[in-house]
Structure 1
């Protein structure tokens, strides 16, 4: 039998979810907790729980904090966020905390059963509405917002790389920036060393790949 835990502070909702889950004989709800702290106390050995249905908004310790702790200390346990919150911020926070899936509380028993199987198979189940919002959130995140590698380049060095990426020669860069050709060469020697590259092409490609320019 697949062993399930439920963390939900509203008793009626928890009992309804338990009934839905146990309509499938493969599943058994082995523990129920009304907050994250209580849940952590009950799964200290973590040997008898396969999947947790986790509410977000709970007293004492909320679902996000509990999820982060379990994902770090008991990574074999899969967590499905089960909530009424379908906004992008909570979806993003849940994924960051380590949740395997994110569904809404009004799911049908058949979907809940499918989500459990999918989670145990290594999937990331989401309610269709949540999946669309997650996809929209990913698409709306510009590449430039991704974390940049810090090579310790100065503003001037980044400016020189930007010029170089446009196919401009050292001589033209010197004229554009009102500095000497020798100064440009020295700057690029430092840039290549910091970025651990050997020529202009490598420097420009690396800078573009890592969103430096």
Structure 2
């Protein structure tokens, strides 16, 4: 189950923080659906809604706070968008909205810094919750999305050479399962009765063992190799 952050944790009438969101999706009807869904989040301002990599890159200098990103675009992929926008807006977060592609493209996008995954059949209410969670620093990967990732890994050809990883310690496995459920670092520390420093140390150990660079990529690799148990 993904942890969602209520809007009150993001903004108050006094602060009235506005988050700048860019929508990058090649399907026009779905772009409209995303934009309409975000009308329920008064703290969010949609600064653009485009369907190509080239058009998305043009918004980099506007420094969006979050990009809703489809992986499959007619003139490139999500990786190109992340790389270009991160150069000018390093704090920008990326929430991938997709039906998922092959393992290699998903893993590359996660390692490039995608902050979360949403399946395209998510309800409007859930989309808003995912956006708020991502802006609040939570990396949302729902259980359903995780199961979809598992289906990708199970569907790979038998000719693929398996990758061996050093075994995860029980506490590292427990932490990774919490991360897979979308918990923030602070929530993980509280649940496991650990200091933030220890959580950070465990996280780096997990990254090193799985040869990844992000929370999302760690979850994907763990699912791929059945290192964690999800409901």
Name the TM-score, length of structure 2 as normaliser: 0.54
Contact 2:26 2:50 (C-alpha < 8 Å) held by counterparts: yes
Contact 2:94 2:114 (C-alpha < 8 Å) held by counterparts: yes
The aligned runs of 1:72-91 (5 Å cut-off) are 72-85=87-100, 87-91=102-106
Q: In the TM superposition, what is the alpha-carbon distance from 1:62 to its structure 2 partner?
A: 2.1
The answer on 1:115 being equivalent to 2:137 is no
Aligned to 1:59: 74
Contact 2:60 2:88 (C-alpha < 8 Å) held by counterparts: no
Contact 2:61 2:89 (C-alpha < 8 Å) held by counterparts: no
Give SS of 1:143's match: coil
Aligned to 2:165: 143
Q: In the TM superposition, what is the alpha-carbon distance from 1:41 to its structure 2 partner?
A: 0.9
Identify which of structures 1 and 2 has the higher relative contact order when contacts are C-alpha pairs closer than 8 Å and 6+ apart: 2
Aligned to 1:27: 44
Q: In the TM superposition, what is the alpha-carbon distance from 1:18 to its structure 2 partner?
A: 0.8
Q: 1:115 to 1:95 in 2, by over 3 A?
A: same
Aligned equivalents of 2:105, 2:76: Cα separation in 1: 16
Aligned equivalents of 2:138, 2:54: Cα separation in 1: 27
Gapped regions of structure 1 (runs ≥ 5): 146-208
- Provide the alpha-carbon RMSD of the alignment: 2.8
Give the aligned length.
143
The aligned runs of 1:154-193 (5 Å cut-off) are none
Q: In the TM superposition, what is the alpha-carbon distance from 1:133 to its structure 2 partner?
A: 5.1
Q: 1:122 to 1:141 in 2, by over 3 A?
A: farther
The aligned runs of 1:36-55 (5 Å cut-off) are 36-46=53-63, 49-55=64-70
Name the TM-score, length of structure 1 as normaliser: 0.58
Gapped regions of structure 2 (runs ≥ 5): 1-17, 154-161, 168-207, 210-231
